[in-house]
């Protein structure tokens, strides 16, 4: 989870510098947080179904 967020933040910083914008870091970081949450929740659901 932390790695996904870190990479999203790093990518956003790089895009901000490359394209001279100031909103891409925030946007991509938020998207990476949502992706991380989705991955964690789907893994929890998968593990809980295996326990039944």
Whether 11 shows a pLDDT value over 90: the answer reads yes
The pLDDT of residue 22: 94
Tokens standing for residue 14: 């790089």
pLDDT in tens, 13-48: 999 999 999 999 999 999 999 999 999 999 999 999
Whether 52 shows a pLDDT value over 90: the answer reads no
The pLDDT of residue 51: 76
Dihedral sign for Cα atoms in the order 25, 31, 33, 39: negative
* 27 alpha-carbon distance from chain centroid: 10
Domain ranges of the chain: 2-51
């Amino acid at each position: 989870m932390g790695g996904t967020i870190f990479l999203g933040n790093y990518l956003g910083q790089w895009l901000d510098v490359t394209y001279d914008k100031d909103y891409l870091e925030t946007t991509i970081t938020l998207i990476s947080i949502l992706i991380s949450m989705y991955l964690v929740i789907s893994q929890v659901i998968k593990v809980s179904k295996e326990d039944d």
